[in-house]
């Protein structure tokens, strides 16, 4: 059938006469599990959101406000003030819970010769501002004693 308003020689098929063309689609992928209903999908997503939102996020580790040199000076000064003993050396420093842990050797007993002096290693815990929170003596030894 031709449209009377169309120019001659142009034939347009009648819509009722020819079935509409369908686009080719890929067959659905086979799955062993049935697809979840929209309600199930929504419930699963909200459960995941709930689990994710309730999990605590640990804060990043705190960084000390003081440099290692500043913290070592403060540890020496505070240990000397508290114990009344002379500082021999700072043998180690390490970051500890936002502050510092210092290992300081103090002279507990002077002897002649000096290699027989009695020293002690103290551990001091300093907060972020460098104030000593705790300290304790870990060991005693002779200055001339080699211990690995």
58-106 per-position pLDDT tens digit:
776 667 789 999 999 999 999 999 999 999 999 999 999 999 999 999 9
| Closest by CA position to 134, among listed 99, 107, 105, 110 | 99
Q: Which residue has the higher pLDDT, 17 or 37?
A: 37
113-143 per-position pLDDT tens digit:
999 999 999 999 999 999 999 999 999 999 9
**Strands lying side by side in the sheet with 132-142:** 86-96, 99-109, 118-126, 132-142
Distance of alpha carbon 47 from alpha carbon 71, whole angstroms: 48
The model's pTM is 0.58
Q: Go through the domains of the chain in sequence order and give each one's CATH number.
A: 68-142 (3.10.450)
């Amino acid at each position: 059938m031709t449209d009377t308003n169309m120019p001659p020689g142009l034939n347009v098929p009648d819509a009722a006469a020819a079935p509409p063309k369908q686009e080719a689609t890929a067959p659905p992928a086979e799955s062993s599990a049935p697809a979840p209903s929209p309600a199930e999908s929504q419930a699963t997503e909200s459960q995941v959101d709930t689990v994710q939102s309730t999990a605590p996020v640990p804060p990043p580790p705190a960084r000390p406000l003081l440099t290692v040199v500043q913290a070592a000076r403060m540890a020496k000064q505070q240990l000397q003030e508290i114990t009344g003993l002379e500082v021999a050396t700072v043998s180690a420093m390490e970051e500890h819970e936002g502050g510092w842990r210092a290992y300081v050797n103090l002279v507990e007993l002077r002897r002649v010769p000096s290699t027989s002096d009695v020293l002690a290693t103290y551990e001091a815990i300093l907060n972020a501002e460098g104030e000593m929170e705790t300290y304790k003596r870990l060991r005693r030894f002779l200055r001339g004693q080699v211990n690995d």
